[in-house]
Structure 1
Amino acid sequence: MNEPSGEDKAPPALSVVIVAYNSGATLARCVAALAAQTFADFELIIVDNDSPQQEAKPAAAGFPGTRVIEAGGNLGFAAGVNLGAREALGRWLVLLNPDAYPDPDWLAQLVEASRRHPRVLSFTSRQVMAQDRAVLDGLGDVMSGPAIPYRGGYQTPDPGDTPEGEVFSPCGAAMMVDRALFLRLGGLDESFFCYCEDVDFGYRLQLAGEPTLLVPGAVIAHEGSASSGGPKSEFAVFHGTRNRFWVLIKDTPGLLLPLVLPLHLLAVAVIATRREGKLQAGVTWRGLKAAFADLPRVWRSRRAVQSGRRVSALALARAMTWNPNDLRGRRPVIRPLRPSRRGAP
């Protein structure tokens, strides 16, 4: 039997997109883990954000057929992902950080979950620390009442018996989303550059009535912030502070905004005055000032986002956690998958 030509060949089921920047120490290992996947019907796209380490092409050699897209500059994570998504051919778009190493059945677990739940269009992974797999890196993203998002269970012992269930939003380090839905919602917000762009996208999924399912069997080991200097670096604190505020203003329904906004500012003040936060208090303040300086643009974006909301403010509030102990302890918040919440706001 003749092999199908390039024109006749069916598109892959999945498109895995990795954005590479200063990931020379991790990217080849990440690609090797993808090459070992038991589910093989996927393409790999590496977006090279003009990394000074020039690691994309050597790493791509570890997975024949990988497409390397030259971004022409450091576009940031959000724009890099969007570039890859536009070029992707698969029905499902899979995002993977270059410092994340998936278990061999990672993609198979995500695909199987999509078959069990055909109405769910967004999935997230169980993330463990690459340095110690007994410690969690995250079980999906949680949105707290003060609009301080966090990865559920971050840096806590992995209980090992996590149920499959609904979380607030997927973590961009290892997620799968329907590509058509991703593009219809506008992809990642490129103004964020990096940090919280996945939370913003997950919030918009919530507003559209689209749940995100945590798949505990889909496991990746994650280094975390390997290319940006770590979660407490000046870069991370500045962008995290600024972008969290933008998420709040852009995505919070009007009925919740008068409650959430003062809680957020109070939480940021508390974080900045704690012992570990005092060293970065100046950077935190700069991040807030930058957030306020760009409020007119963010408010315009808010109008567009809120005009497309398909769920009530009450339903959105129920998807968040209002228990301060959850935020303080970075507790996972995993709920039974609810019926479709698409409907009039």
Structure 2
Amino acid sequence: MNDTFSEDKAPPALSVVIVAYNSGATLGRCVAALAAQTYADFELLIVDNASPQREAGPAAQALPGARVIEAGDNLGFAGGVNLGARAARGRWLVLLNPDAYPDPDWLEQLVTASRRHPKVASFTSRQVMAQDRSVLDGLGDVMSAPAIPYRGGYLSPDPGDSPEGEVFSPCGAAMMVDRALFLRLGGLDEDFFCYCEDVDFGYRLQLVGEPTLLVPAAVVAHEGSASSGGPKSEFAVFHGTRNRFWVLVKNTPLLLLPVILPLHLLAFAVVSLRPQNRPLLEVTWRGFKAALAGLGPIWTSRRRTQAQRRASALQIARSMTWDPKDLSGRRAVIRPLRPSRRGAP
């Protein structure tokens, strides 16, 4: 860790955690954007996931007091975030990808939203494409009826400051969550390693009755998959295929499984056999086989997850989208904010 940190300092309001791995091309710009924030009551923790580029230390120097946490190995995004969350001291945990560049008022907008909605524990950002800010990278995450999650509005024109509203789950690229709640729910599932771990966490929020609020005024420009070779890389396809199935098995209420599981398998087959996806059919099938092979630990996680559930199967079904056009068009699904089951802090 950096020597500038002192336990005697008062805890900050926010703890921003960035997981660094092969992110030398983007991390410096990301930290510079944090250094320019209008809201200053935060600490920065950069988790070095044994990156061969060793980019965390030089990048941290751009923000006085930033801490570098050496993971010692590549723990994946999930393990890196959990390591940072345990070392964090803020009331709020803020996750930011190393290839996401927040606008100067990003943290201020998230904090302001938390004050407007004191019973909400989870917030997500409006993400635009770093290459073209007129195009959306996502308005929170959506869960479709076949248990195929996607970023709402991905590659659609950015509508600007649309009204706030509830989405299925926060996107881990730029989110804020009550740290105590995050830790109480077990953090991100480290079995996932990378991809869909944020959707899994968001699903668990749904199961315990905690809504996620989209804050359109909190904006980040996101490159996406910059350290993993892009969304069509073998790494991304393998982990995405495997982890989507695990999200379904782990979180879907029993009453919904007979409906959701066949829809998932059908959608999986249709998407995998599309002409543009056929070159990756072998790695897709390998990811699905890995999902089946790893069901033992996931089923154990399911028992723990379902034991915490407070939302009914009907409530979970209503939080998803059942319109096939939403999935095919990656349309954003933003609903009026429902009351949280959590008491005001």
Length-normalised TM-score, structure 1: 0.97
Q: Deviations over 1:232-278 (max 9, x none)?
A: 00000000000000000000000000100010010010011111111
User: 1:214 is matched by which residue type in structure 2?
Assistant: L
Identity of aligned residues (%): 81
Which residue number corresponds to residue 74 of structure 2?
74
Looking at structure 1, the residues matched to 55 and 9 of structure 2 have their Cα atoms a distance apart, in angstroms, of 30
What runs of 5+ residues in structure 2 fail to find an aligned partner? none
The equivalent residue for 1:244 is 244
Classify the secondary structure of the residue corresponding to 1:90.
coil
Match of 2:284?
284
CA gap of 1:59–1:256, structure 2 versus 1, over 3 A, is same
Cα distance in 2 between the residues matched to 1:326 and 1:9: 48
**Partner Cα separation in structure 2 for residue 276 and residue 219 of structure 1:** 31
Deviation at 1:160, TM superposition (A): 1.7
Q: How far apart are residue 341 of structure 1 and its match?
A: 4.8
Partner of 1:94 in structure 2?
Answer: 94
Q: Distance in 2 between matches of 1:30 and 1:120?
A: 27
The 8 Å contact of residues 310 and 342 in structure 1, kept in 2 or not, is answered as: no
1:1-345 equivalence runs, <5 A: 9-341=9-341
| Distance (whole Å) between structure 1 residues aligned to residue 85 and residue 307 of structure 2 | 24
Deviation at 1:9, TM superposition (A): 3.3
Distance 1:308 1:161 in 2: 35
**Superposition misfits of 4+ residues, deviation over 6 angstroms:** none
CA distance, structure 1, for counterparts of residue 289 and residue 123 of structure 2: 34
User: Is contact 1:311–1:341 with CA below 8 Å preserved after alignment?
Assistant: no
Q: Give the CA deviation at 1:10.
A: 1.9
- In the alignment, the residues of structure 1 paired with residue 112 and residue 305 of structure 2 have an alpha-carbon distance, to the nearest angstrom, of 31
Alpha-carbon shift at residue 338 of structure 1 (Å): 1.0
Q: Is the 8 A contact 2:119 2:342 kept in 1?
A: no
Q: Which amino acid is 2:95 matched to?
A: L
Runs of at least 5 residues in structure 1 that lack an aligned partner in the other structure = none
Task: State how far apart, in whole Å, the 2-side matches of 1:329 and 1:246 are.
Answer: 24
Matched residues, number: 339
Q: Is the 8 A contact 1:311 1:342 kept in 2?
A: no
- Superposed CA deviations along residues 131-163 of structure 1, whole A, max 9, x for unmatched, are 000000000000000000000000111112421
TM-score (ref. length: structure 2): 0.97
Partner Cα distance (1:199, 1:53) in 2: 29
SS of 1:94 mapped into structure 2: strand
User: Conserved in 2, the CA contact under 8 Å of 1:208 and 1:342?
Assistant: no
Q: Counterparts of 1:6 and 1:49 in 2: how far apart (Å)?
A: 23
